[in-house]
């Protein structure tokens, strides 16, 4: 018989457990008794093992590492973690797919989340980005509808390509992001082989009080590598956890993946007359206008010790901005400031920021108190401000909000201001015509045809052709020709040929 080693099993209260194998029964064939508290507590805890999965970005993987400053950034920000070449800040990163649930295959077509938590010496700085520089909408009121279109039909519980294309073709501002998603960048080979983007425009302020608009780009040092659609689908069957395994095994092999942080910096006053609305999340700032400026490097060199504690309970929020960094008038960013914290309060609990993975590495002196699972507390500290008993006192200068002026205007529901070169399709056209290689374009066409050719109604397919024709005339014709052909035998895995919901 193998002798088992290890410390003695205990209950969660630290009491020695009576057995790992046998429940307490009345004789060998009698009933189990309710006062077998060890068994009962084991069942009770098991029944509560899951917290709700994230409503988006449910399946993800994470790793620890550090950010190191490589170039002087003090000319545009006074943020302490960017203040000195060579300065290192611990970071936790979580990568994810957007639409699929916890057990969904990793490699299927989807944008990928690229969320970073910097444990800076001024509190946590979170950049909750994606592997694409833009997004499907510019107004947050469309986000929930967009996500519903990516998830599942209410009656059959199936995903539906019809629903996806119906939404996209009725929302032309999605064209830029859809062009990236339908290219092979929609099926990255691994988390290590994709770029990360803050996507939104953010702001920075330097020690002299000068303000700038900025964009964050994390360029993979491993190089961009993608699966073709068929490779991605084959891998979904072979190893549904391929991306998770790849990240964890690479780090275990000491092949720490690395990204270069390069930023675009726009002087504050230039936003007003820039040829694109610089706060529109469906647009990039072309590099020729605002070149990428090297700032630092991100290295991920340590796997989580416990997946649940670190990856599942990690809560990122774009509201976590340290002095020297700030928001912008991007409406989607502003809505996310509320939404992320709110979803963590619901999903993990009122004190999720006290968990080690979320807790800052600086002292917390806040007037928030108590709530479920409160672990840290301020002892007898006054529970209200202002007080005359030595409670925390805000320092408006150190904690200033990085703002901008808004001309006096009527309250209303407005479309974004159009700048000179703004339209819904121009930047998607630039991508397809000027950036993509012939192979990229050929794959783009077959990816769209395969996707929109399965389970999509004729009326929506017609709009699919019009949508791509608006991006590029020739591309639209090729997609039209492809959609007219009889569909191939097997639908794309994960994009099951659900019957069109609306006929
Ligand atoms: P540039 O030629 O200066 O840059 C093109 C960028 O496109 C590079 O950063 C490259 O990133 C990226 N890229 C290459 N192939 C693809 C692809 N198949 N799908 C998505 N991105 C790709 O051009 P501009 O700055 O003038 O922008 C032109 C277009 O490039 C934009 O409309 C946008 O679609 C795309 N783009 C622009 C970015 C920006 O911030 N300006 C960022 C990313 C994309 P890589 O380092 O990975 O090769």
CB 260 less than 6 A from any atom of ligand 1:
no
Q: Which sign, positive or negative, has the C-alpha torsion 77, 79, 85, 89?
A: negative
Find the DSSP H helices in 261-312: 307
* Residue listed under structure tokens 């045809």: 449
Angle between helices 438-452 and 161-169 (to 10 degrees): 120
List the residue whose alpha carbon is closest to atom 43 of ligand 1: 133
Fold of 426-489: Hemocyanin, N-terminal domain (1.20.1370)
Q: Which of 92, 82, 89, 96 is nearest to 116 (CA)?
A: 92
Taking CA atoms only, the protein residue closest to ligand 1 atom 2 is: 435
Q: How far is the CA of 79 from the centre of ligand 1 (A)?
A: 28
Tell me, yes or no, if 131 is annotated catalytic: no
Separation between Cα atoms, residue 391 and residue 46, nearest integer Å? 41
* Distance (Å) from CA 362 to ligand 1 centroid: 38
Q: Which of 124, 130, 226, 447 is catalytic?
A: 130
The helix or strand, by DSSP H or E, that contains position 129, with its residue range, turns out to be strand 123-130
CATH architecture of 25-161+174-374: Beta Barrel (2.40)
291 CB under 6 A from ligand 1?
no
Q: Quote the CA–CA distance of 477 and 468 in Å, as a whole number.
A: 8
Question: What is the distance between the alpha carbons of residues 451 and 182, in angstroms, rounded to a whole number?
Answer: 9
The residue behind tokens 């009122």 is: 350
- The residues that bridge with 241 in the sheet, in sequence order, are none
Mutation to probe ligand 1, out of 189, 431, 440, 444 (largest number of atoms < 8 A from CB): 431
Write down the catalytic residue from 35, 45, 47, 57.
Answer: 57
> Tens digit of pLDDT per residue, the chain (503 long)?
456 789 999 999 999 999 999 999 999 999 999 999 999 999 999 999 999 999 999 999 999 999 999 999 999 999 999 999 999 999 999 999 999 999 999 999 999 999 999 999 999 999 999 999 999 999 999 999 999 999 999 999 999 999 999 999 999 999 999 999 999 999 999 999 999 999 999 999 999 999 999 999 999 999 999 999 999 999 999 999 999 999 999 999 999 999 999 999 999 999 999 999 999 999 999 999 999 999 999 999 999 999 999 999 999 999 999 999 999 999 999 999 999 999 999 999 999 999 999 999 999 999 999 999 999 998 999 999 999 999 999 988 887 778 898 888 899 999 999 999 999 999 999 999 999 999 999 999 999 999 999 999 999 999 999 999 999 999 999 999 999 875 554 444 444 444 444 43
Which numbered atom of ligand 1 lies nearest the CA of 264?
A: 40
Query: Counting Cβ atoms within 10 Å, is residue 339 exposed (0-12), middle (13-18) or buried (19+)?
Result: middle
Closest CA to ligand 1's atom 7: 435
Write out 56-124 in H/E/C secondary structure: CCCCEEEEEEEEEECCCCCCCCCCHHHCCCCCEEEEEEEEEECCCCCCCCCCCCCCEEEEEEEEEECEE
CB 109 within 8 A of CB 256: no
Active site residue 130: yes
Exposed, middle or buried by CB within 10 Å (0-12, 13-18, 19+), for 402? Answer: middle
Domain boundaries, given as residue ranges, for the chain? 25-161+174-374, 426-489
Tokens describing residue 42: 């084991």
């Amino acid at each position: 018989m193998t002798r088992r080693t290890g410390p003695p099993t205990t209950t969660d209260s630290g009491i020695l457990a009576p057995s790992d194998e046998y429940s307490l029964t009345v004789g060998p064939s009698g009933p189990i008794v309710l006062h077998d508290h060890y068994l009962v507590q084991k069942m009770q805890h098991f029944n509560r093992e899951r917290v709700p999965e994230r409503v988006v970005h449910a399946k993800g993987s994470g790793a620890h590492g550090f950010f190191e400053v490589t170039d002087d950034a003090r000319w545009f920000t006074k943020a302490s973690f960017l203040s000195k070449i060579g300065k290192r800040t611990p970071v936790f990163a979580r990568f994810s797919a957007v639409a699929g649930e916890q057990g969904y295959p990793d490699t299927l077509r989807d944008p990928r989340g690229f969320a970073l938590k910097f444990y800076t010496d001024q509190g946590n700085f979170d950049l909750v980005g994606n592997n694409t520089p833009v997004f499907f909408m510019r107004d947050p009121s469309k986000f929930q509808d967009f996500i519903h279109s990516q998830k599942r039909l209410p009656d059959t519980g199936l995903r539906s390509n019809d629903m996806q294309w119906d939404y996209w073709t009725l929302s032309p501002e999605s064209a830029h992001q859809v062009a990236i998603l339908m290219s092979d960048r929609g099926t990255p080979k691994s988390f290590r082989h994709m770029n990360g983007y803050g996507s939104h425009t953010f702001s920075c302020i330097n020690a002299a009080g000068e303000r700038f608009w900025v964009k964050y780009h994390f360029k993979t040092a491993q190089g961009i590598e993608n699966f073709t659609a068929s490779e991605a689908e084959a891998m979904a069957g072979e190893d549904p956890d391929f991306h998770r395994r790849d990240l964890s095994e690479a780090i275990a092999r000491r092949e720490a993946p690395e990204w270069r942080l390069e930023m675009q910096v726009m002087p504050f006053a230039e936003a007003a007359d820039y040829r694109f609305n610089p706060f529109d999340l469906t647009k990039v700032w072309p590099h020729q206008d605002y070149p990428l400026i090297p700032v630092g490097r991100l290295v991920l060199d340590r796997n989580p010790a416990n997946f649940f504690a670190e990856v599942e309970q990690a809560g990122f929020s774009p509201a976590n901005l340290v002095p020297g960094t700030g928001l912008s008038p991007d409406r989607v960013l502003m809505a996310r400031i509320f939404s992320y914290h709110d979803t963590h309060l619901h999903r993990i609990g009122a004190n999720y920021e006290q968990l080690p993975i979320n807790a800052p590495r600086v002292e917390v002196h806040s007037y928030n108190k108590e709530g479920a699972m409160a672990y840290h507390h301020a002892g007898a500290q006054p529970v209200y401000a202002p007080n005359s008993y030595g409670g925390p006192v805000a320092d408006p200068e150190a904690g200033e909000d990085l703002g901008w002026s808004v001309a006096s205007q009527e309250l209303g529901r407005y479309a974004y201001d159009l700048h000179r070169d703004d339209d819904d399709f121009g930047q998607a056209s630039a991508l397809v015509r000027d950036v993509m290689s012939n192979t990229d374009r050929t794959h783009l066409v077959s990816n769209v045809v395969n996707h929109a050719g399965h389970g999509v109604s004729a009326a929506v397919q017609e709009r699919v052709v019009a949508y791509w024709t608006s991006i590029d005339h020739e591309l639209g014709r090729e997609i039209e020709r492809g959609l007219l052909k009889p569909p191939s035998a097997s639908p794309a895995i994960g994009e099951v040929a659900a019957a069109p919901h609306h006929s």
